[in-house]
């Protein structure tokens, strides 16, 4: 494009000429510096490129040293490099803080690399976009940029410094206006035009900062790095530094400006042809690293707005922890895979000189930050590296997978190279590759915006192979994200990928592609974009032992449900219970994200419900109960890796949904006996599904409330033992009644006492009928492997036949004394034989049957020793054949039942990765 505009003589030694931006001769630089790339770094088509970076560079770097020795530039540890990101210089007050930090650094020599004020680079890119799309609002947008810098300068400067800065600013703005006008007319900006425009943010921030430092009495010079740094463009997102040329530029600059405090522009540089360019987005970190390498500096401090490098993006994982140390490789992998706290190439220039990089927070000077160096600091000091082989996780969004598939690929040399040749020709950036060893398919990830061109080019290139059927398809899978786990210790630790994948499976996340380099510094998985944050949280909590967040929906906040809510509330307040049960420190917590549904109303909050006020909130904000909507709401949150529904009802309709919920990956916890004691076929289906899926189904509180009855039975079976018989007193009410039915007491008296003490159901016949005990027996029978229906269990009903039809519980109690004689006789007979009466449930695994009945036990039998409303369950197994294994304790009441449910919730949390 021909461009000649009203451009005045530049204070920066650049002027515009036809066709492109070139520099004038004043820089004295040879037209073409021998292009010598310090490190032949191509953007890696293979995701774990860093492992191939040699630990010391090839012979080429020797010449760098020799040439530097000849120059005047002092190099070495007396140089300290700082880099201040955009937010650090976002306004006048923040620039003031930066000045303080620079002045306080007592190093002999300081070079400070500075980014544009926050958002300015975005605004500059926007100017170019507006101009090339012929939107004349670029004019007012440019005014806004001018005002921002002008007002900041007025705040900070005065006198000559202010006048000089403003004059340069106006000069630049006029030039930009002309240039943008030209872009507007042409409707197009070349890359060099665009680079020239966007680099102004750094020119202004560096000049402002150096003026303010000078104002505080420190001698200081600003450096326009376009006259120092030389880079060779590689692609629209990548440049390679020319270290030799840059070093010469630096020597020359320094001979003319021998300052001990230098404020250098980040981001901008020149091509070997002296055309202004940039190090591309976020390139200021890279600028600082190149400067540090050229000066052999002692250290680089990168100042930003977070306390250091976190184990995951803190905006996505609130429990992410600061990593004290990272190796260069780890930092590279983290940043390459999306941890944008650092530009991925920052490590490359500094690693050969072992220059440490420290990431620090300008807003929190007390935080020590993260040190990036060759070896992460002594493992003892770094708790994370001791505990977790994975250092951190990072994600890249907006990707698409391309899958080239076909039987004709196997064993045909050159297919992969042909595929990637095509990708290279269209200039797309391959972020990850995965190829199965069958060579049946090659799958790779590219940025979503590049996928169409890639797919079209592949189809064109392989038209013949596709036509002949050697290739079956070039498929595009859109809306993907990459999740990478990074850590040098992964290489020597078996089982890391197993843990990673099981955490993903438990969160019900489907993995679409996988790659692991043989360096084992990272494992990369491709997941659906909308599941990426959920996946990130699931794996993070698994490896970092952070809180396991579970979306929890409680159905039926009746007596048990509300007791559970109280227990959860107390745990939240004290954190003690869970810490204690988990035997871990304060990290060992679950956090819940709670919703509540009752039979009439439900409470759907966007955030977790305040447990101390849930009743009032439900009253005020409760809406009409709708189970489907409720489940959708609890499970629909894409950010919480796991969902559990806690069914605290006794309802078979609610229980009939368990199968569907488990199939959707929702965990189910319940004290409701209906599902496990319902029709056998449904039960078997449910258990088969549970075994296949990663969703958990826990129902400890269905038998013996909080007593470990189900888990004891399961662990007996899991260890290879065989159940012979389970016999027990499973009803707290009937336990109380028969424990107190002694001496001359009438049976009806004892029943009334039990009712008054709150031990019975409102209608005591619900206990005396034995139906509830029968459900517990069937649950245990099925757990022991017996295929029985509820109707197969004969039940001795303690309600006298004529009273089964009386109207109410009260009426029944009034009439019960008429039948006392019968029970008294049974009791007397037993007593005379030295025995007691107990109402028990029996599972006879040997004869494959069960029963619920009144039986007599010798007075020294454990069942005869019971008191209060305790339950007692005896397991006779092949190993416990002579003496049964006995579980005994309070087995009824809201507190212990809710406690049983709570312990299932904790078990779930620990299965899902909370500390154990
Ligand atoms: P600057 O302008 O200072 O260069 P950036 O915005 O480029 O700052 O980088 C800092 C940001 O990187 C943080 O604010 C944070 O939101 C984001 N970030 C993403 N991943 C991580 C991570 N793993 N650790 C720390 N910060 C991260
Ligand atoms: N200002 C540039 C950008 O925003 C460079 C940087 O801040 O690192 O991309
Ligand atoms: Mg940055």
Interval 247-288: pLDDT, tens: 999 999 999 999 999 999 999 999 999 999 999 999 999 999
Stretch 131-141: mean pLDDT: 97
Query: Is the pLDDT reported for residue 108 higher than 90?
Result: yes
Q: Where does the pLDDT of residue 20 fall: very low under 50, low under 70, confident under 90, or very high at 90 and above?
A: very low
Instruction: Tell me which residue has its CA closest to atom 8 in ligand 2.
Output: 282
pLDDT at 808: 85
Cβ–ligand 2 contact at 286 (below 6 Å): no
Nearest ligand 2 atom, CA 115: 7
Cβ–ligand 2 contact at 114 (below 6 Å): no
Out of 114, 340, 342, 345, give the residue to mutate to test ligand 1, the one with the largest number of ligand atoms within 8 Å of its CB.
340
Q: Where does the pLDDT of residue 237 fall: very low under 50, low under 70, confident under 90, or very high at 90 and above?
A: confident
Residue of higher predicted confidence among 40 and 469: 469
Cβ–ligand 2 contact at 308 (below 6 Å): no
- Helix (H) or strand (E) holding 233, with range, is strand 231-235
Burial (0-12, 13-18, 19+ Cβ within 10 Å), 693: middle
pLDDT, one tens digit per residue, over 525-568 is 999 999 999 999 889 888 875 556 677 888 887 788 888 888 88
Lowest pLDDT segment from 136-140, 515-519, 845-849: 515-519
Residue 827 to residue 738: CA distance in whole angstroms = 10
Nearest ligand 1 atom, CA 312: 23
pLDDT, one tens digit per residue, over 443-502 is 999 999 999 999 999 999 999 889 988 888 899 999 999 999 999 888 778 888 888 998
Lowest pLDDT segment from 64-73, 78-87, 689-698: 64-73
Cβ–ligand 2 contact at 266 (below 6 Å): yes
Query: Is the pLDDT reported for residue 516 higher than 60?
Result: yes
| β-strand pairing of 392-405 with 473-486 | antiparallel
Q: Where does the pLDDT of residue 376 fall: very low under 50, low under 70, confident under 90, or very high at 90 and above?
A: low
pLDDT at 311: 93
Rg of the Cα trace of the chain?
37
List, chain by chain if needed, residues with CB within 6 Å of any ligand 1 atom: 85-87, 115, 282, 304-306, 309-310, 312-315, 339-341, 392
Percentage of the chain lying above the pLDDT 70 cut: 84
pLDDT at 47: 24
pLDDT at 835: 95
pTM: 0.67
Stretch 39-57: mean pLDDT: 27
Burial (0-12, 13-18, 19+ Cβ within 10 Å), 771: middle
Q: Does the annotation count 776 as an active-site position?
A: yes
Stretch 831-837: mean pLDDT: 94
Out of 112, 116, 277, give the residue to mutate to test ligand 2, the one with the largest number of ligand atoms within 8 Å of its CB.
116
pLDDT, one tens digit per residue, over 680-703 is 999 999 999 988 888 899 999 999
224-228, 630-634, 646-650: range with highest mean pLDDT = 224-228
In the set 130, 177, 776, 882, the catalytic residue is 776
Category of 705 on φ-ψ map: left (φ > 0), alpha (ψ -120 to 50) or beta: left
Percentage of the chain lying above the pLDDT 90 cut: 61
Query: Is the pLDDT reported for residue 830 higher than 80?
Result: yes
Q: Where does the pLDDT of residue 507 fall: very low under 50, low under 70, confident under 90, or very high at 90 and above?
A: confident
332-341, 371-380, 776-785, 807-816: range with highest mean pLDDT = 776-785
Nearest ligand 2 atom, CA 284: 8
Instruction: Return the DSSP state at 492.
Output: G
Residue 567 to residue 557: CA distance in whole angstroms = 13
Query: Is the pLDDT reported for residue 576 higher than 50?
Result: no
Nearest ligand 1 atom, CA 343: 7
Cβ–ligand 2 contact at 728 (below 6 Å): no
């Amino acid at each position: 494009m021909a461009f000649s505009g009203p451009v005045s003589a530049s204070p920066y030694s650049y002027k515009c000429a036809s066709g492109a931006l070139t520099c004038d001769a004043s820089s004295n630089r040879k037209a073409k510096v021998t292009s010598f790339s310090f490190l032949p770094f191509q953007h890696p088509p293979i995701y774990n490129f860093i492992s191939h970076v040699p630990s010391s560079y090839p012979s080429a770097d020797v010449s760098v040293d020799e040439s530097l020795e000849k120059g005047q530039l002092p190099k070495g540890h007396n140089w300290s490099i700082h880099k201040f990101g955009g937010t650090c210089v976002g306004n006048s007050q923040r620039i003031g803080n930066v000045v303080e930090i620079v002045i306080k650094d007592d190093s002999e020599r300081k070079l400070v690399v500075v980014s544009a004020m926050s958002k300015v680079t975005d605004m500059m890119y926007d100017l170019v976009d507006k101009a090339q799309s012929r939107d004349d609002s670029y004019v007012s947008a440019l005014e806004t940029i001018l005002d921002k810098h002008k007002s900041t300068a007025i705040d900070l400067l005065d006198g000559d410094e202010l006048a000089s800065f403003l004059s340069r600013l106006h000069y630049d703005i006029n030039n930009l206006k002309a240039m943008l006008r030209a872009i507007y007319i042409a409707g197009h900006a070349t890359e060099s035009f665009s680079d020239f425009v966007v680099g102004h943010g750094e020119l202004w921030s560096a000049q402002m900062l150096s003026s303010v430092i000078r104002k505080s009495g420190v001698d200081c010079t600003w450096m326009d790095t376009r006259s120092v740094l030389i880079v060779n463009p590689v692609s629209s997102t990548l440049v390679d530094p020319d270290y030799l040329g840059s070093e010469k530029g630096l020597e020359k600059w320094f001979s003319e400006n021998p300052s001990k405090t230098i404020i250098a522009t980040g981001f901008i540089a020149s091509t070997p042809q002296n055309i202004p360019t940039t190090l591309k987005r976020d390139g200021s970190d890279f600028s600082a690293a190149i400067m540090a390498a050229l000066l052999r500096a002692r250290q680089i401090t990168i100042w930003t707005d977070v306390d250091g490098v976190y184990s995951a993006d803190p905006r996505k994982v609130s429990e992410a922890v600061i990593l004290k140390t990272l190796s260069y490789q780890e930092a590279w992998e983290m940043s390459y895979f999306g941890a944008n706290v650092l530009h991925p190439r920052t490590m490359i220039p500094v690693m050969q000189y072992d220059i440490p990089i420290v990431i620090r927070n300008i807003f929190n000077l007390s935080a020590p930050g993260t040190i990036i160096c060759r070896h992460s600091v002594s493992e003892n000091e770094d708790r994370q590296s001791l505990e977790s082989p994975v250092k951190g996780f990072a994600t890249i969004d907006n990707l698409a997978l391309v899958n080239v598939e076909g039987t004709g690929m196997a064993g045909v040399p050159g297919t992969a190279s042909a595929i990637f040749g095509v990708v290279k020709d269209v200039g797309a950036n391959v972020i990850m590759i995965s190829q199965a060893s069958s060579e049946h398919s090659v799958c790779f990830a590219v940025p979503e915006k590049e996928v169409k061109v890639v797919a079209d080019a592949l189809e064109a290139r392989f038209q013949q192979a596709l036509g002949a059927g050697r290739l079956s398809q070039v498929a595009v899978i859109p809306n993907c994200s990459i999740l990478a786990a990074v850590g040098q210790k992964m290489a020597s630790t078996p089982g890391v990928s197993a843990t990673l994948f099981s955490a993903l499976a438990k969160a019900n996340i489907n993995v679409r592609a996988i790659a692991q380099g043989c360096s084992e510094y990272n494992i990369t998985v491709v997941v659906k974009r909308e599941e990426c944050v959920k996946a990130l949280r699931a794996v993070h909590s698994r490896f970092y032992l952070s809180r396991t967040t579970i979306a929890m929906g409680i159905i039926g906040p009746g007596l048990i449900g509300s007791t559970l809510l109280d227990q959860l509330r107390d745990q939240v307040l004290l954190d003690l219970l869970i810490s204690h049960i988990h035997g871990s420190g304060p990290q060992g917590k679950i956090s819940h994200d709670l919703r509540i549904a009752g039979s009439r109303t439900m409470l759907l909050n966007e955030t977790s419900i305040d447990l101390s006020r849930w009743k009032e909130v439900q009253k005020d904000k409760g809406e009409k109960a709708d189970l489907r909507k409720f489940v959708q709401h609890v499970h629909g949150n894409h950010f919480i890796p796991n969902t559990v529904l806690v069914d605290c009802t006794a309802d078979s309709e609610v229980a009939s949904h368990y199968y569907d919920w488990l199939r959707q990956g929702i965990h189910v916890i319940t004290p409701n006996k209906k599902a496990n004691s319902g029709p056998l076929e449904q039960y078997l289906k449910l258990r088969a599904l549970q075994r296949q899926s990663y969703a958990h189904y826990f129902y400890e509180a269905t038998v013996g409330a909080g007593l470990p009855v189900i888990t004891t039975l399961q662990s007996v079976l899991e260890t290879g033992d065989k159940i012979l018989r389970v016999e027990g007193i499973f009803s707290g009410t009937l336990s109380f009644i028969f424990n107190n039915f002694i001496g001359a007491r009438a049976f009806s008296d004892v029943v009334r006492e039990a009712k008054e003490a709150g031990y019975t159901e409102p209608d005591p016949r619900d206990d005396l009928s034995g139906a509830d005990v029968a459900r517990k027996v069937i649950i245990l029978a099925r757990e022991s492997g017996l295929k029985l229906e509820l109707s197969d269990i004969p039940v001795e009903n303690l309600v006298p036949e004529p009273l089964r039809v009386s109207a109410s519980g009260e009426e029944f109690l009034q009439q019960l004394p008429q039948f006392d004689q019968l029970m008294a006789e049974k009791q007397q007979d037993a007593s005379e034989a030295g025995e007691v009466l107990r109402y028990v449930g029996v599972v006879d695994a040997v004869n494959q049957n069960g029963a619920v009945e009144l039986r007599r036990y010798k007075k020294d039998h454990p069942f005869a020793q019971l008191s209060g409303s305790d339950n007692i369950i005896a397991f006779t197994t092949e190993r416990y054949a002579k003496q049964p294994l006995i579980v005994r304790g309070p087995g009824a009441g809201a507190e212990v039942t809710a406690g049983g449910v709570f312990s299932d919730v904790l078990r779930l949390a620990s299965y899902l990765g909370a500390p154990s």
